A and B are shown apart, each in its own frame.
Chain A
Amino acid sequence: MIFVQTWATHGSRIAQNVPMSRAEKQRRFERLVKDELSVLFRVARRMGCTPEEAEDTVQTTLLKAYRAWDSFDGKHLRSWLIRILRNERLMLLRTERDVLSLDDSDAVEVADAPVWNGISQRLDAGAVLTALEGLPEIYRLVIQLCDVEDMTYEEVADALAIPVGTVRSRLFRGRSLLRDALLSTGFDPNTEVSR
């Protein structure tokens, strides 16, 4: 509750154009962003960063976020930070290789047929992670943000700067690919997999 109030206060102060002192800005930024550090690190890892690269990327993200803190509207802090993180990562990638070109269709695909009931009762966590890592980045990210970080479609859309429909589309495709990957690794629907 305190978090929400503080967040709201930040937004309202920005909306009212009330200047914050330097010390106040430091305290507020540090207190709010501290809770997002782990999320940022995990998202960086899902973007294909090694642990060291993820650390560096998060650090750069913090620096840029702090500089831009006055322009933050007070809504969806996590989305805002992830957007900065993602831009930073993409900027680095552009110097190395082209960003993956995938179908970003906004069409929402609804699962008519059962998708997941072919998966065994107990899933091996390591195998799931391996399967996730094998997915294209754009699907990995959406699955990570929705299923692990508990972000809403709107927050994910805000973080990735894509329409909500695209979030749902990528989520569906990503989960389907994940299921296929799990099944291809030998998951028997009728037997349990030990961890």
Chain B
Amino acid sequence: MNFDWQAYLDRSLGAEEMARHEAALQNDPAAAEEVEALGRMRSALREAILAEPIPVARLEKALRQTVRPAIVWPWRTAALTAVTCAVAAFAFVSLRPVSSVQRVIPDSIVGQMMPTPMIAQAKTSDADAAAEEIRREGGIPAPTIRLAGLGASMTSAECGNCWLAYDYKIGGEIYTIIGRKSAGMWKGMQSFDASGKRLYETTDGVGWHCKGSMSYLVIGGNAETRRKIAANACHETDSIRL
């Protein structure tokens, strides 16, 4: 009569067969020893294999990532990109160094009003802070010119050894106020009074003197706005003396 001791140990026999094998074990010491030896081998095998290290934490993490992958929503990406662009644009506009690209200055003006190289640039568009920075970095008496009431926003400021230049945007047009340590520059020019100040109309702009300080010239944009700027700025430049 055949006995399948492995199947018996594996409990894969039917109830009747299990009973027959158990009965046989009682009367067959060799079979009993066989089953016992097989059991020992299984125990040793289990012990050895179950002792192997298993990266449980990493496997569980992999499981979590499988069912809950990190989702990057498109709108979040778009929003993040938009914010990044906005910040970059703000930083560019606010902190960019003075650029003369937008400024169209005739060579005659550059030679006359800005004869020396630029030595300092303001890193802010705030009129007060820009003037302060030009005074500090350039060492010249730079006034604060806000052009209040004209809807102006300063776009850049720079200076050389004896000159300064402020750029403003008014009504979509760029205007530049250039100042130079000089007196009597506008002799012979057509003059007119505005707001109690004597202004001088040139072919390129509108100028004025600050007694004991600097001569200024507004260029760019249209003539009417240049006059308004000069009439407004001439009082602000008076606050600075050499």
A residues engaging B (CB < 8 A)?
25-26, 29-30, 33-34, 37-38, 40-42, 45, 51, 55, 58-59, 62-63, 66, 108, 110-112, 114-119, 121-126, 128-129, 132, 143-144, 146-148, 152-153, 168, 171-172, 175, 178-179, 182
Contact = CB atoms under 8 A, between A and B. Distances in A.
Given A29-B67, A119-B37, A175-B38, A112 B45 contact: no
Interface stretch (B48-56, B78-86, B150-158): B48-56
Given A110-B2, A110-B3, A153-B12, A116 B48 contact: no
B182 to A, nearest CB: 77
B63 A123 contact: no
Given A111-B5, A115-B34, A38 B54 contact: yes
B12 A147 contact: no
Contact of B45 (A26, A30, A148): A148
Nearest first, the 8 closest Cβ-Cβ pairs linking A and B are: A116-B37, A125-B48, A123-B44, A129-B48, A26-B67, A37-B59, A116-B38, A59-B62
Given A55-B59, A116-B37, A119-B37, A45 B52 contact: yes
Contact of A128 (B5, B38, B45, B59): B45
Interface string B39-77: 011111111111111111011101110111000000000
Given A30-B67, A34-B63, A58-B62, A128 B41 contact: yes
B63 A132 contact: no
17 contacts: A26-B68, A33-B63, A37-B56, A40-B59, A45-B52, A58-B62, A59-B66, A62-B63, A66-B67, A108-B4, A116-B34, A116-B40, A116-B41, A148-B50, A152-B12, A175-B38, A175-B41
Contact of B66 (A41, A62, A110): A62
B6 interface: yes
Nearest to B66: A62
B60 to A, nearest CB: 7
Contacts of A171: 6, 10
Nearest to A26: B67
A117 B33 contact: yes
Contacts, number: 123
Contacts of A144: 49
Contacts of A122: 40
What band does the interface of chain B fall in when counting residues whose beta carbon is under 8 Å from A? 35 or more
Specify the main secondary structure of chain B where it touches its partner.
Answer: helix
B7 interface: yes
B101 interface: no
Contact of A41 (B38, B44, B55): B55
A170 B41 CA distance: 17
B55 A51 contact: yes
A47 to B, nearest CB: 13
Given A116-B41, A117-B37, A111 B48 contact: no
Contacts of A126: 48
A58 B43 CA distance: 26
A15 to B, nearest CB: 23
**B3, B30, B41, B46, most chain A CB atoms within 10 A:** B41
Contacts of A119: 37, 40-41
Given A125-B51, A144-B49, A147-B46, A117 B10 contact: no
Contact of B33 (A66, A114, A152, A168): A114
Nearest to B32: A117
Contacts of A117: 30, 33-34, 36-37
A123 B33 CA distance: 15
Nearest to B31: A114
Given A119-B37, A178-B41, A148 B59 contact: no
